[in-house]
Structure 1
Amino acid sequence: MTEFSAENLQKDAFLGGKLHLWQPVKGYRAGVDPVLLAASVPAKPGQTVLDLGCGAGAAALCLGVRVAQLQLYGVEREPAYAALARRNGLEAAQDFTVTQADLAQMPAPLRAMSFDHVISNPPYYDRAHGTAAPDRVREAALGEDLPLAEWIGIGARRVKPRGYLHLILKADRLADALSAMNSCLGSLEVLPLAPRVDRAAELVLMRGRKEGRAPLKLHAPLILHRGADHPGDKDHYTKVVSDVLRCGAPITY
Structure 2
Amino acid sequence: MYNPDTETLETLKIGNLLYIQPKQGYRFSVDAILLADFVKVKPDERIIDLGTGSGILPLLIAALTPVCEIVGLELQERLAQIARRNVRLNALDDRIQILEGNLRQVPQLFRAGTFDVLCSNPPYRKVGSGRINPENEQAIARHEIACSLGDLLVAWKYLVKPGGRVFVVYLPERLSELLAGLTASRLEPKKLRCVHSTQQSSASLALVEAQRDASPGLIVLPPLFLYTNGQEYSEEAKRILREKDE
The match for 2:226 is 224
Within a 5 Å distance, the mapping from 1:14-53 to structure 2 comes to 14-16=12-14, 18-53=16-51
The answer on 1:176 being equivalent to 2:174 is no
Letter of the 1:45 counterpart? P
Residue of 210, 222, 225 corresponding to 1:208: 210
SS at match of 1:127: coil
Classify the secondary structure of the residue corresponding to 1:196: coil
TM-score, scaled to structure 2? 0.90
1:96 maps onto 2:92 in alignment: no
8 Å CA contact retained: 1:15, 1:244: no
> Using the alignment, how far apart are the partners of 1:6 and 1:156 within structure 2?
40
Q: In the alignment, does 2:60 pair up with 1:62?
A: yes
- Contact 1:103/1:154 (<8 A) preserved: yes
Q: Does the 8 A contact of 2:32 with 2:121 survive in 1?
A: yes
How far apart, in 1, do the equivalents of 2:141 and 2:60 lie? 19
Query: What RMSD in Å do the two structures reach over aligned CA positions?
Result: 1.9
Kept after mapping to 2: 8 A contact 1:14/1:246:
no
Note the C-alpha offset of 1:156.
2.1
Match of 1:143 in 2: 143
Contact 1:223–1:238 (CA under 8 A) maintained in structure 2: yes
Cα offset, 1:112, TM superposition: 4.6
Shift of 1:208: 0.4
| Correspondence for 1:124 | 124
Change (3 A) 1:103 1:187: closer
Amino acid at match of 2:236: V
Q: Secondary structure at the match of 1:118?
A: strand
Runs in 1 of length 4+ with deviation above 6 angstroms? Answer: none
Counterparts of 2:175 and 2:124, CA distance in 1: 10
Q: CA deviation at 1:158?
A: 0.5
Q: Which of 229, 237, 242 in structure 2 is aligned with 1:241?
A: 237
Residues 113, 158 of structure 2: 8 Å contact kept: no
Partner of 1:158: 159
- Answer whether contact 1:166 1:205 (CA < 8 A) is retained: yes
User: What CA distance in whole angstroms lies between the structure 2 residues aligned with 1:34 and 1:133?
Assistant: 19
Moved more, 96-105 or 6-15: 6-15
Counterpart residue identity of residue 204, structure 1:
A
Change (3 A) 1:86 1:6: same
- In 2, Cα distance between the equivalents of 1:187 and 1:168? 13
Aligned partners of 1:77 and 1:102 also within 8 Å? yes
Give 2:43's aligned amino acid.
Answer: P
Name the % identity.
Answer: 27
Q: What is the CA deviation profile of residues 35-76 of structure 1, one whole-angstrom value per residue up to 9, with x for unaligned ones? A: 111111111112211000000111111011011242010110
Which protein, 1 or 2, shows the higher relative CO under an 8 Å CA cutoff with sep ≥ 6? 1
> CA contact under 8 A between 1:187 and 1:213: conserved in structure 2?
no
Contact 2:80 2:98 (C-alpha < 8 Å) held by counterparts: yes
Which digits, 9 at most, give the CA deviation of each residue in 1:119-171, with x for residues without a partner?
A: 00001111232231111101011111211122122112111221101101111
Using a 3 Å threshold, how does the CA distance of structure 1 residues 133 and 110 change in structure 2: closer, same or farther?
Answer: same
Residue in structure 2 matching 1:85, options 83, 86, 111: 83
Distance in 1, Cα, partners of 2:120 & 2:161: 16
Q: Which range moves more in the overlay, 152-161 or 193-202?
A: 152-161
- The letter of the residue matching 1:202 is S
Identify if the C-alpha distance between structure 1 residues 237 and 156 changes in structure 2 by more than 3 Å, giving closer, same or farther. farther
d(CA) in 1 for partners of 2:55, 2:116: 18
Does 2:73 align with 1:71? no
